[in-house]
Amino acid sequence: MVNMIENIDYLKRLEVVRNFTNDEKIINEVLLYNENKFVKNNYDFTDELFVEEWKCYLEELSEYSLVEIFHKYIIQFCFPVKENISGEFDYINAVRNGKKPVFLQNPHCFNSPENINLEIIKTPVGSIPVIFCKDRDDFENMLRIFVYKNEPIKIPNSQGACFVKGFNNWSRIEKLKNKWLEKGNLEENWQSYFSKNIIPFKELYQDKFIILSNSHYSGVSALNFDINEDEWLEKSYIIRREHEICHYYTLRKFNYIANNMLDEIIADFSGIIEAFGCYNKEKMFYFLGFENFPEIRNTGRFYNYFQNNKISSEAVEIIKELVYNSIIYIESFYINFHNNDDINCKFKDKYELIDILCNETLESLNKDI
């Protein structure tokens, strides 16, 4: 495997950051945050093992709602969304040991279960399940159950999607156990077999999937783009879908996904091209809250990507400048790639462009504009 960072000149990155500060601590913070960690893999991009399980869920949609299907197969759906539930014995026993509680009968009150849909989308790196919630509250509860251990945390209005990876699916483990029992393995018990032959191989029981909402992308109004509400909701869905698919693409092809600005810029690049036919920096500025730069709108997404990072406000201010300049450069890069014609070619070469951007950093994208 080849680390993409080997292709990036560290001294040039350092030179770019020194244009903003000479404080070594802040410089190191910025360079560390912006480090390119993409690693190129040469995988055969066949569908991952979890896809077959989700195809089974899809088949049952003709008879049941997706919420009912999840309650049947996903152990977290046996519990309500409730404060501190993740610390209760029954919940811990369920998610760690696969022990379903017998006393709970579908505790979830989704507003519109009939409008929660599932599709399995083919991508250049394999298929990925996509859950689409038309109701905002239903989307937020999906996140709380799948991602936040059934805790009633507040979901930012600017968040309309989530790529879930590493989800332990006890339904798949149960199927593996049943196959093991059918073989009549008497030489060792299940727990011993599970520890040695299942737990080390996460692809056997961990899932990846995408959860999408039906709200305005990044909380931005249709009025900012001079299109009607229905059209903007349709485009918002496309941007979200392609944004999250891009995360799956980089994870499989480059073995990396992160909640940082370079990843987000690349993923939005993919979504904007798919929804609008070409890349446009003004739309990207709105999505991050940069439309009145250097002022940053607090409801934009920019600050979302620093909530869990121990990084100084001074370093964030420099990254803000790097992001702004990078977006401007990417638009010119996109136009030049198409030689100023055929700019509406939204499918041709999109992933080639993504591959090129994955070989960059925010510093290397700060070229003369």
pLDDT, averaged in runs of 10, over the chain (369 residues): 56 94 96 89 86 97 95 94 95 93 74 96 96 96 96 88 96 94 80 93 97 92 91 96 96 88 95 94 96 92 83 95 96 80 55 92 84
Pairing mode of beta strands 128-133, 116-121: antiparallel
Phi then psi dihedrals of residue 166, to 5 deg: 75, 25
Nearest to 31 by CA among 62, 48, 47, 8: 8
The Cα 289–Cα 7 span in angstroms is: 31
Terminal CA-CA length for the chain: 34
- Confidence (pLDDT) at 106: 66
Q: What is the pTM of this model?
A: 0.90
Contact 366, 9 (CB under 8 A): no
Give the side-chain half-sphere CA count within 13 A for 35: 11
Contact 237, 249 (CB under 8 A): no
Contact 129, 118 (CB under 8 A): yes
Q: In Å, how far are 51, 64, 118, 242 from 48, measured between CA atoms?
A: 6, 25, 17, 19
Amino acid at 63: E
The token duo for 255 is 């073995």
Phi then psi dihedrals of residue 131, to 5 deg: -95, 130
- Confidence (pLDDT) at 346: 47
The Cα 260–Cα 288 span in angstroms is: 12
